[in-house]
Chain A
Amino acid sequence: MAANKKEPKGVRLDHISKIYKDPKTGKDFYAVHDVALDIEPGSFVTLLGPSGCGKTTTLRMIAGFESPDEGEIYLGGEPINELTPNKRDTAMVFQSYALFPHYNVFDNVAYGLRLRKVPKDEIQERVTNILKLVELSDMEQRMTNQLSGGQQQRVALARALVVEPGVLLFDEPLSNLDAKLRVQMRTEIRRIQQALGITAIYVTHDQSEAMAISDNIILMKGGVIAQMGSPTEIYYHPNSEFVADFIGECNFLPCTVTGREGNDVIADVYGHPVKVLSERDKIGSAEIVLRPEAIEIADQGQLPCKVELSCFMGSYQNYHVRVGDTLVKIADNCPIGRKTYQVGDEAYISFRSECAHLLAT
């Protein structure tokens, strides 16, 4: 396996902004606003967010295709604002793969090395090694249109990896693949990134992809960072309703914090007290964030509810229940052997205090 000869580089975005003109109104607006980031060398960071949140613009600013209006971008400690894309130590994997259709697999991968005037033997060796890494060893002579989508994706990855960039950029690389292949390829990308110890910045709008692949997730909304942190942190401790809702299914229960008991706070939900793990001391109204799979439904529990939908989904039983005025979604995993509630049944829901998260309203 090819060992990465170069040290991976860190990326620092020093409060960068990008302004675009709205084509309809003709007014300027921030596509990216005051984004400050410090990406550790060798880590895998995902820019996640709905379309139009500025994640691709941020990535393209790092690559050099766009220029920031405020702030400076550092690569390996060096400011790179003034460098053109071809002079930056980055390599990008494009959404459409952007393979050169007039070259075969080998020539596609060798393109960057030839530009760098690497000696022929070394090109041969490095391309062979990298193709082995992406498991395309026997395809060197194929034209790119003779490859499947997944294989094309691997060629694009190999082409970016072979030049040993300081940082590897991914622009929604898996969005053109079918669901099954997507899952397989993301594992593959993670494996290769870890094997090479390379820095990677990955753009996607798919939250499950982001969770599966990243060391850190940067969730963006409207050009600003909504939250950043490890996948677990973001999943269980979202700092806003938007983040909670964007990362997986979510229930929001309105409550009033009435007091504290050890590490938990006591909150009142429609007149029933529940415990939530939180450091919050403020008394007053708040929201409890609950993931559907963290909720149990039973004949006894913390909060009374009425079943409005019950539906078997294979791996879980899907319930919609009414708690007070709020609709709560429940994913009852592996339901077989347990009681199944029908529409109209009265039941109780309950959850562990560490599965719930308190949000200020």
Chain B
Amino acid sequence: MPVARSQSASLDRKKFFGDPVLVITIIALIIFLALFILYPLAMLLMDSVLVRDTHLYSIEPLVSGEKIVYVSEKGEEISDSRSPVCVKLTSPTEGIEEKIVPLYNSTGLFAGRATMNDVEKGNTLYLKTVNSKDKAVYIALDQLTQVQEVPQTYRANGRVIKKMDGIELSDLCIQLHEDNWTLDAFPRIFSDYTFNNALRNTLLLGCLTGLGSLLIGLLFAYVDVYVHIRSRMTKKLFDVVSLLPVVSPPFVLSLSMMLLFGRSGLITRMVLGIYDSDIYGLWGITIVQTLTFFPVVYLMLKGLLKNIDPSMEEAARDMGASRWKVFTTVTLPLLLPGLGNAFLVTFIESVADFANPMIIGGSYDTLATTIYLRITGGTYDINGASAMAVVLLGLTLVLFLIQKYVLEKKTAATLTGKASRGRMLIEDKSVRYPLTVLCTAVSVFVILMYIAVPFGALFKLWGRDYSLSFKWFEQMFRERGWQAFKDSFVLSIIAAPVTALLSMIISYLVVKRKFKAKGFIEFVSMLAMAVPGTVLGVGFIRGFAGGVFRTGFLQGIYGSGLILIIVFVVRSLPVGTRSGISALRQIDKSIEESAYDMGAGSGKVFMTVTLPLIKDSFFSGLVTTFVRSITAISAVILLVTPRFLLITCRINEYAEKGEYGVACAYATILILITYAAILIMNTVLKYFGTSKKIKGEVK
């Protein structure tokens, strides 16, 4: 082809930049996604390959006539000398050169956070020095920073050396660290028993949960699509059960599991008379996760089973196959990629799950809980935690990519299009009864689990005194319960509209516009789907605790409510975007083009045409985000500070302390809040929803 497409490219570029609203939106979006999704993950990666080497240096004053700057505890300068004091650093380690470095006062260049081993005691940063008697002396420092222009020079801000420490300058050694890029961290954690154990546990749990959810989900889907269920009550029961775990807070099932089957469990002790029942550990988590995730499998498989053309199975029957033979030779093979897909989805969910292993895991640690304990526990091993988080992220990411690009495509390839006609439902009693009974049993069990929680809050002392009282609720409100509800509610209600709007904008850009950075936006918002909450939490700590790239920029958001809101937004964004994209795909492209052609700019088109058309999707995104945020725990538990109390974190706290009554009281109210939110959504959509009207017209 003789002519390059340069003219149209340059014209398209001119047109694109002629639309400032669009350009600004895209830039803002890219910054947001890069800063709050990519950057924290990048920092995690960096932490896992960046290792510090430690060198000891003794300090000698070199320049006389200049005074050392002493700063009082309040940060006031005692001496007013502005010129730097140089010290000579001599390393006792062989092969390391002497250095002559200036010690600065608190003014001057700022060049990154301390690269020292930040020994933290409380909130103050101390510089660890070693005196001549080989005794460690901690010197309180605000920051010790490396000056960029002169490599290997260091300056101490603020309280450099305090007289009251009773140490002469010559007694001191400074412990300096240098950053080196190595891959040592991975061999280190892979030889770490705790990590290996956690990794094994996580994989085993993922497999068991995946298989369990697959079995129960398949059972429900098969009964729903194939078996004739006489009673409408039973059908309704299945519907409720399959929806309950989706909308409920994550640890409700764990709590009730303990109430029913724990050491003082209602069923284990009262009914079965077992006094030493131990549900903490692998089996407890597996059961709880299975019950939590099987509805996802059920909904996925139901859609696929409905697409199987009944004539195929009838043909097999006609040729003499038994029902079981038809199931194993026709239905199951057709469903196989779908089953693999569903298995992986639950596997990922299970691996990323934090709340359930936390509450019911006992000593069975998974990767998510180990990472959490590394950070909050006594060791505070942030580097170890980072490396583990990278492993967890790698695991979920690989599985997610397989699921998304291999299995989902295969599923779509084998089962597409609609069944040609209705299916003859199975009336055969020998099939109908056992399957229905099995499903009903599971349903009753799940409902029992949900009922146990409010009663757990209402009984005086579970296991001993089953009389009703409000004492747990009273204790809850006495111990700042009200603040927890307020904080959780306010933060979630702020996050909800932001997320809903953001996900609609992303969907609009991805589906309807053409621009260079589209691939990036699509990729990053999809990536967020595969990132476990715990990983994101650690990433945020590493990324923002010292400001962006440890420069102090945006440091203010760390520990604030804003960072919690951002985490809520990031965690819910993929869900909203997915529903927005599918809603927008149904809207004819020319509707927006015509508005554009009539003279509306991008912003105007989005506000007057696109958004009104996907109003329903926007609104349900609003509620879903709210529910997801108020029930979120995995990422926020790592980031929340004592300034904010979150319901979910409180439940975790009380459950850890063994005060299940209060935990149940919180959980009960949380269930009520989420249920109310969903009720409001359904009502609003029923009476004010427009999509149905619109869908009739748009093909």
Contact = CB atoms under 8 A, between A and B. Distances in A.
Contacts of A143: 693
Given A65-B593, A67-B15, A68-B11, A19 B598 contact: no
Interface centre among B5, B12, B600, B690 (most CB of A within 10 A): B5
A17 B696 CA distance: 39
A159 B598 contact: yes
Per DSSP, are chain B's interface residues mostly helix, strand or loop, or mixed? helix
19 contacts: A17-B3, A18-B8, A27-B1, A65-B596, A67-B8, A67-B11, A69-B6, A86-B600, A94-B590, A96-B699, A98-B594, A100-B591, A101-B613, A101-B697, A101-B698, A102-B612, A102-B615, A111-B595, A145-B694
A206 interface: no
Bin chain A's interface residue count.
35 or more
Contact of B598 (A67, A69, A91): A91
A349 B694 CA distance: 58
Interface of B: 1, 3, 5-9, 11-12, 14-15, 18-19, 588, 590-591, 593-601, 604, 608-609, 612-613, 615, 690, 693-694, 696-699
Interface string A92-110: 1011101111100000000
- Ranked 10 nearest A-B pairs via Cβ: A67-B11, A145-B697, A28-B1, A98-B594, A112-B598, A98-B590, A67-B8, A101-B694, A94-B590, A102-B612
Contacts of A66: 8
B606 to A, nearest CB: 13
Contacts of B8: 18-19, 66-69
Contact of B597 (A28, A91, A96): A91
B598 A115 contact: yes
Given A82-B14, A94-B590, A101-B698, A145 B693 contact: yes
Nearest to A81: B11
A63 interface: yes
Given A82-B15, A101-B698, A63 B597 contact: yes
A130 interface: no
Interface centre among A29, A83, A85, A92 (most CB of B within 10 A): A85
Given A64-B15, A86-B596, A90-B597, A95 B5 contact: no
A145 B696 CA distance: 7
A344 to B, nearest CB: 48
Given A98-B590, A101-B698, 18 more contacts: A19-B5, A68-B11, A69-B3, A81-B11, A84-B596, A86-B601, A87-B18, A91-B597, A92-B593, A92-B594, A94-B594, A96-B588, A98-B588, A99-B591, A100-B595, A112-B599, A144-B697, A145-B694
A112 to B, nearest CB: 4
B599 A94 contact: no
A115 B604 contact: yes
Contacts of A92: 593-594, 597
Interface centre among B7, B12, B595 (most CB of A within 10 A): B7
Nearest to A60: B593
A88 B11 CA distance: 14
Contacts of A29: 1
B19 A84 contact: yes
A264 interface: no
Given A67-B7, A70-B7, A84 B694 contact: no
A96 B6 CA distance: 32
Contact of A98 (B9, B593, B615, B690): B593
